[in-house]
Amino acid sequence: MRRISIFGATGSVGANGVDLIRRAGGADAYDVVALTGGRNIARLATMARELRADIAVTAHDDLLDDLRDALSGSGVEAASGAVALRDAAARPADWILSAIVGAAGLVPGLTALAQGGVLALANKESLVCAGPLIHAAAARGGATVLPVDSEHSAIFQALGGDNLASVRDVTITASGGAFRDWPLERLAAATVAEASTHPNWAMGQRITIDSASMFNKAMEVIEAKEFFGLRPDQIKVLVHPESIIHAMVGHLDGGTIAHLGAPDMRHAIGYALNWPDRAPLPVAPLDLARIGSLTFREPDEARWPALRLAREVMAAGGMAGAVFNAAKEQALDDFIAGRIRFTQMAPQVETTLTRLSGQPGFANEPADLETVLAWDAAARQETAA
């Protein structure tokens, strides 16, 4: 039986992964090694019992007793904290879903790569802040990294093993998020609740707000560069309100291959689970006649300054990705806590990038985890409102 682990199992992507495992036969079809979560102990324990996991880990030490209680009599081991998360990632598994949100997903991901197998990567933050480390760890461990972000899964599928040499450009689409059609002058007053709704996708709160600000798309542009080794000028963003085309690969011969599908993360997660094969998934087939038309617009950088910042980050290289991601996470914390306005997030991130770009070592490619974590901490401190 294939051994699998899910990091961030209680979140939006993680729960979709658990759903696919359950539908495929659950504990009778897979040997579930580790499931991890945060504060939702009841959900984590229910999943771990149902899938007969070897171990369940909460990120929070103060919840260890609650987790032990919730798992009592089940035979599932309980653990907590960052070290336990890392140790769980070191347990041998053939397929690991990396679905923790934020830079917190980096250490478990790197640890998992050391033992080979497949890392199905939803945690885009780890590629943005430490792309070279991810590739090096995968090469050392003989591991395969598969994209789970829908746009990157779409690129991967559209490439179909094609050599990048024939690729002219790659287009990732963006729904435009909650404020796509808002008058610009209203954005400064946007509330957390308003930013936490998405027209097409059901996702965690942080990525939903990042969709409204397009920080998510900015992260994905950098993720595409890091994942596929594309040049920054080859990566384009197109606003596509229907979210049916997820990405397109344009070739030098004028042909363009697009990937289409309903906006349902179970496609991308399931594709990574079944790769290199394809198997039936509980994803609604496309009904284009019902959808009627697909529309597109150029992204407006006045509305979404994060897209310009992504280009600047790619041009700067070095530690810019780690600084950008951490500054973005801090600005998002500050917005959610009501300390800054929606429209202050991008200027805060830009200021941090400008300030830290003058520090020694900024231009160096990430050499090790400690260096990345040090820049991450410095960027959060610099950004905090």
Q: Among candidates 138, 140, 96, which has minimal Cα distance to 269?
A: 96
Q: Is 126 annotated as a binding residue?
A: no
Determine whether the annotation assigns residue 135 to a binding site. Answer: no
301 or 333: whose CB is closer to ligand NAD?
333
Closest distance to ligand NAD from the beta carbon of 243 (Å): 11
Residue 311 C-beta: closest distance to Mg ion, Å: 18
151 known member of a binding site: yes
Identity of the residue, 54 or 226, whose beta carbon is nearer to Mg ion in the bound complex: 226
Residue 86 labeled ligand binder: no
Measured between alpha carbons, how far is 141 from 120 in angstroms, rounded to an integer?
15
Q: Residue number with the shortest CB distance to Mg ion?
A: 149
Minimum distance of Mg ion from residue 12's CB (angstroms): 12
Q: Which two tokens stand for residue 375?
A: 């820049």
Nearest distance from residue 258's CB to ligand NAD, in Å?
19
C-alpha 132/C-alpha 31 separation (Å) is: 31
| Minimum distance of ligand NAD from residue 37's CB (angstroms) | 4
The H or E element that residue 174 is part of is strand 167-174
Q: Which residues bind ligand NAD (CB under 6 A)?
A: 8-14, 37-38, 59, 85, 99-102, 104, 122-125, 149-150, 201, 203-204, 206-207, 265
Q: Is residue 57 classed as helix, strand or coil in its secondary structure?
A: strand
Q: Which of the 8 DSSP states describes residue 253?
A: T
CB closer to ligand NAD out of 84 and 323 = 84
Residue number, 84 or 362, with CB nearest to ligand NAD: 84
Closer by beta carbon to ligand NAD, 89 or else 362: 89
DSSP 8-state symbol, 107? H
CA distances to 25, 260, 271, 296, 324 from 150, in Å: 24, 10, 10, 18, 22
220 annotated as belonging to a binding site for a ligand: yes
The closest of 137, 129, 90, 140 to 106, measured between CA atoms, is: 129
Report 91-150 residues binding Mg ion (CB under 5 A). 149-150
Residue 194's contacts (CB-CB under 8 Å, 6 or more residues apart) are 178, 179
Q: Give backbone dihedrals phi and psi of 131, rounded to 5 degrees, phi first.
A: -50, -50
**Binding-site partner at residue 269 among ligand NAD, Mg ion, none, CB < 5 to 8 Å by type:** none
Phi, psi angle pair for 172, to nearest 5° = -105, 140
List C-alpha distances in Å: 125 to 21, 128, 236.
Answer: 25, 5, 19
- Looking up tokens 């906006």, which residue turns up? 263
In the complex, least distance from residue 88 CB atom to ligand NAD, rounded to whole angstroms? 11
Q: What gap in Å lies between CA 67 and CA 83, rounded to an integer?
A: 16
> Helix, strand or coil for residue 305?
coil
Is 213 within any annotated ligand binding site?
Answer: no
Q: How far is the CB of 265 from Mg ion (least distance, A)?
A: 9
204 annotated to a ligand binding site:
yes
CB of 201 to ligand NAD, least distance (A): 6
Output the six-digit token pair for 168.
């002219």
Chain center to CA of 220: 8
Q: In this complex, which beta carbon is closest to ligand NAD, that of residue 33 or of residue 203?
A: 203
Instruction: Say which entry of ligand NAD, Mg ion, none residue 201 contacts (CB below 5 to 8 A, set by partner kind).
Output: ligand NAD
Does residue 66 bind Mg ion (CB under 5 A)? Answer: no
Residues comprising the binding site for NADPH? Answer: 10-13, 38-40, 123, 125, 204
Q: Binding site residues, as ranges?
A: 10-13, 38-40, 123-125, 149-151, 175, 198, 204, 211, 216-217, 220
Q: What residues make contact with Mg ion under the rule CB under 5 A?
A: 149-151
* Residues of the binding site for 1-deoxy-D-xylulose 5-phosphate: 124, 150-151, 175, 198, 211, 216-217, 220
The annotation places the binding site for Mn(2+) at 149, 151, 220
